[in-house]
Chain A
Amino acid sequence: MSRLLEVGDLRVKIPTSEGPLYPVRSVSFAVDKGEILCIVGESGCGKSLTSLALVGLLPPRARRSAERLLFAGEDLLRANRRRISDIRGNRIAMIFQDPMSSLNPVYTIGSQLVEVFVRHHGGGRAASRARAVELLEKVGIPSPSERLGQFPHQLSGGLRQRVMIAMALMCDPDLLIADEPTTALDVTIQAQVLALLKRLQREFGLAVILITHDLGVVARMADRVLVMYAGEIVEQARTEDLFARPCHPYTQGLMRCLPGRTDAGRLGTIDGTVPSMIGDLEGCAFAERCQLAFAQCRCGGIALAEAEPGHAYRCLLPPEQSLRHLREAEE
């Protein structure tokens, strides 16, 4: 498969009164065409800012720096604002957690769908409307032509998210960035929307970056996974490999926290809190909360080690050792 997106040494810096805050620290990854890549992590781990940095949508004071940012062979670091906004919404589309706040409440669904298409492709309103109806039908919205005249508040949450997906697909993008697209939805609706995303991804040959905190979503959707902690990638692997053999103590800890995995009365927990993201980190970001940490964990940078081809983790311990500890803790 060919590369669609290549990110090298991406960093985000936000100045604060207590010094510079680094919510994303040297993140490198690649996305192939037609692949679903999940970025998983807890709140504040930098997963959303990573995706916003890719398309230049960071909050005003945040600064991005990167060594490499290639999209379909084009260097996005050198592209000017006009070029970026030509790509955004067109080649790279996005959907967010809360469709109510991403849709404009005072415009109809139709005019918002048509606007995207006209902005990027020009052409008549009739052609754009036809395209809008076609896509609303594709995302499974009943009586699509009547829906065009409706306002966002007239739709249920699940339907609104479907409208967002239709809007994202209006220009037939290569890459879809979906930031917690089903977090605000009920479980049955979540399953439906995820099934829809997967179907469309196959049908359109889309690459998807799916950002989520839910390991269940990761397991069912992703081809590959990045696990982020405190602004860094701590583990990356193919989905089956990650669940069969989690190598980083943080990933292992996350899996132990899930209710329903064991019938035992108590859930595993990760004690402590995420370190401050202000200033530089010395050693492993997870060391303070890691039960296996030793002196060397707290000094110097820790490089990614390879557990098997395509499976890397940022930890000094060999995976066998941390996995043994995990099994003992579960018994």
Chain B
Amino acid sequence: MTLAVEARDLHRTYHLRRGLGGGRTLIHAVSGVSLRVEHGAVLGLVGESGCGKSTLARHMLGIESPSVGDVLIDGQPVTALSRLKRARKVQIVFQDPMSSLNPRKSVLSILTLPLRIHGIGDRWERERRALKMMEHVGLPRRLLQSRPTNLSGGQRQRVAIARALMVRPEILICDEPTSALDVSVQAQILNLLQDLRAEFGLTYILISHNLAVIKHMAQRVAVMYLGKIVEENETAALFANPRHPYTRALLDSILTPEPTKGVPETGLGITFPNPAAPPPGCRFHPRCPDVMAVCAAEAPPTVACERGFVECHLYDQNAGATASKERHRIRSMTHAE
């Protein structure tokens, strides 16, 4: 069976000009990402701002071409597909529907535009499909002629989702779909996304910094740090037994509504990584609470674990005595729990 989305050793660098007449800086937005997403799966992509999540999403949409490597959609390189073909395979929903919907167009016009571009149906057929899709996403018919400015945040996000689904794509990338919404509306949109997945057999790439959302929605989770995937695993396994120190810090930072627990201590330093000059060795080592000598010198190996992998020297079989001691410490800690 072919995979819905596959990234093969994807690299993307950008040249950033430093002011007038200044030199150029090379930014490594994505450096060596490999991913496999099966049909009908939900992959959660987490990481802090600037770690390359959105750049990766743009490559899956085919609106950026990789410096090195490939993104395959249904087994075909995404850059080899025509624009229209790509649009029928992959669509995206952005964080802020106010800035991704044209404020001067009506809901009807927004929803039928993809059909007009793809030359699907006549005017009546397009309107019929728009109304049908509005029903699917829970928008009342009376909003057909409304403009985005007259809708609530939740309704706008429903329009954005409806627009993305008009050409019946197979894959939907949701880039922070609920970050701009209130919790009560967030719950509605997450429920809707789950219903639509079952109904249309969609594959989701869900980008979010809200780990509770990821845990609720995703089957697999990939954790990104500074352009690399540092850990990937099934959701239950990753949340039960996070291996990479960064994943652990992320999970520790979740503020569950438990009043007795207090504010978590993550043990991360506050130096923010600079993507123009990523640290040598492991990119996380300047902030890592479990840092060892080898971390600054060598890039960490990819170690397979359960049904995923982690990139960290702590789990390296050949990194000498320190590493194995460290491993032992962690194992005994997990046993103690």
Q: Enumerate chain B residues within 8 angstroms of A140, measured Cβ to Cβ.
A: 270
Contact across chains for A266 and B194 when beta carbons are under 8 A apart: yes
Bound complex: CA of A141 vs CA of B272, how far in Å?
12
Which chain A residue shows the least CB distance to B152? A273
Which chain A residue shows the least CB distance to B153? A43
Cβ contacts A20-47/B at 8 Å (1 or 0 each): 0000000000000000000000110000
Give min CB distance, A159 to chain B, whole Å.
Answer: 7
Within 8 A of A (CB), among B268-311: 268, 270-272
Which chain B residue shows the least CB distance to A198? B263
B interface size (C-beta, 8 A): 42
Q: Enumerate chain A residues within 8 angstroms of B143, measured Cβ to Cβ.
A: none
Q: Is A62 part of the contact surface with B, judged by Cβ < 8 Å?
A: no
| Known A-B contacts A219-B256, A260-B256; A159 and B184 likewise in contact (beta carbons under 8 Å) | no
Q: Is A84 part of the contact surface with B, judged by Cβ < 8 Å?
A: no
Q: Is B259 part of the contact surface with A, judged by Cβ < 8 Å?
A: yes
Give min CB distance, A228 to chain B, whole Å.
Answer: 13
Which chain A residue shows the least CB distance to B273? A156
Cβ contacts A201-234/B at 8 Å (1 or 0 each): 0000000000001111111111000000000000
A interface size (C-beta, 8 A): 51
Q: Enumerate chain A residues within 8 angstroms of B268, measured Cβ to Cβ.
A: 188, 192
Give min CB distance, A142 to chain B, whole Å.
Answer: 7
| Known A-B contacts A42-B184, A220-B263, A240-B260; A191 and B252 likewise in contact (beta carbons under 8 Å) | yes
Q: Enumerate chain A residues within 8 angstroms of B183, measured Cβ to Cβ.
A: 42, 213-215, 254, 257-258
Within 8 A of B (CB), among A137-173: 140-142, 156-159, 162
Give min CB distance, A48 to chain B, whole Å.
Answer: 14
Q: Enumerate chain B residues within 8 angstroms of A253, measured Cβ to Cβ.
A: 184
Identify which of B250, B252, B263, B272 gathers the most chain A CB atoms within 10 Å of its CB. Answer: B263
Which chain B residue shows the least CB distance to A238? B259
Bound complex: CA of A270 vs CA of B252, how far in Å?
29
Give min CB distance, A180 to chain B, whole Å.
Answer: 13
Which chain B residue shows the least CB distance to A186? B48
Q: Enumerate chain A residues within 8 angstroms of B201, measured Cβ to Cβ.
A: none
Q: Enumerate chain B residues within 8 angstroms of A258, measured Cβ to Cβ.
A: 183, 187, 212, 257
Q: Is A329 part of the contact surface with B, judged by Cβ < 8 Å?
A: no
Contact across chains for A269 and B191 when beta carbons are under 8 A apart: yes
The 8 closest A-B pairs by CB, nearest first: A216-B255, A259-B216, A260-B212, A186-B48, A267-B187, A42-B182, A257-B187, A156-B272
Q: List 30 A-B contacts (CB under 8 A).
A: A42-B184, A142-B271, A156-B272, A159-B272, A186-B48, A187-B210, A187-B250, A188-B48, A188-B250, A188-B253, A188-B266, A189-B48, A191-B253, A192-B270, A194-B255, A198-B262, A198-B263, A215-B183, A216-B254, A216-B256, A216-B257, A220-B255, A220-B261, A220-B263, A239-B259, A243-B258, A254-B184, A259-B213, A270-B187, A271-B188
